[in-house]
Amino acid sequence: MSPRLVCHRGGSLIAPENTFAAADAALNMGAHLIELDVRESADGVLYVLHDQTLDRTTDGSGPIQHHTAAEIDALDAGRWFAPEFEGQRVPRLDAYLDYLSGRGAGAYVEIKWCNADTCASILHETGMIDSCFSFSFKPEMRAAMRAAAPDLRQMITLSIARNVSVARSLYEADLIEIEATECQPSVISAARAIGLEIMGYTECTDPAIFLRYVEAGLDYINHDHLDVAISVLEGNL
């Protein structure tokens, strides 16, 4: 079985990242899951936004947690990328997950910072809890999400776990993410031995890396370059 394709922040090379336009572009090209980032407004509304501040990807400024939902909803999140995307908004998490659900897609939910109970409620209310997995670079957010949503699959990176053997016992992970240099038979077999799914990550366009992941039998590939991934899967590269 071919790996499922996870598009990093949606089709972020052809549309403004973490917007409905980016999700739409990626899914239309053949992505199976959308990677998204979660942050919280000053009044507790969860949004899909990578950066801590609004400056880079909207016409607003300052930390998102200093702005109310009404202020964030009024921002333009597309014009910075290209004029034709003017009018794109910073998506609320519930609306974004509703959209992905309607498209039959899954999600890789990276928690930047938010109320874990609120996030868990949204995942359940949108019916996406079984179509997602979650990760955070912050240990306290990983712990909070495990407590708030014990039925949500959790991911850990091999760079954090350092050893596949503790990914499940210490980090309670269901899935482990590896990079190209870590895609070795010993790593793959160790992960499979304890029942972990495996996701390969790459930022590059080298078809050889995608092919390595495919030949290793990974479950997911997390990337930005959907065109390269699809060409490899179709045998065109």
Is pLDDT at 225 greater than 80 in this prediction? yes
Q: What domains can be seen in the chain, in order of their start residue?
A: 1-138 (3.20.20.190), 152-237 (3.40.50.2300)
What pLDDT does residue 107 have? 98
DSSP readout, the chain? -PPEEEEETTTTTTS-TTSHHHHHHHHHHT-SEEEEEEEE-TTS-EEE-SSSBSTTTSS--SBGGGS-HHHHHTS-SSTTT-GGGTT--PPBHHHHHHHHHHTT-EEEEEEEE--HHHHHHHHHHTT-GGGEEEE-SSHHHHHHHHHH-TTSEEEEEHHHHSSTHHHHHTT--SEEEEEGGG--HHHHHHHHHTT-EEEEE--S--HHHHHHHHHTT-SEEEES-HHHHHHHHTT--
- Average confidence (pLDDT) over 147-167: 97
For all residues of the chain together, what is the average pLDDT?
97
pLDDT band with cut points at 50, 70 and 90 for residue 75: very high
pLDDT band with cut points at 50, 70 and 90 for residue 235: confident
pLDDT band with cut points at 50, 70 and 90 for residue 236: low
- Average confidence (pLDDT) over 135-153: 98
Q: Does the reported pTM lie above 0.85?
A: yes
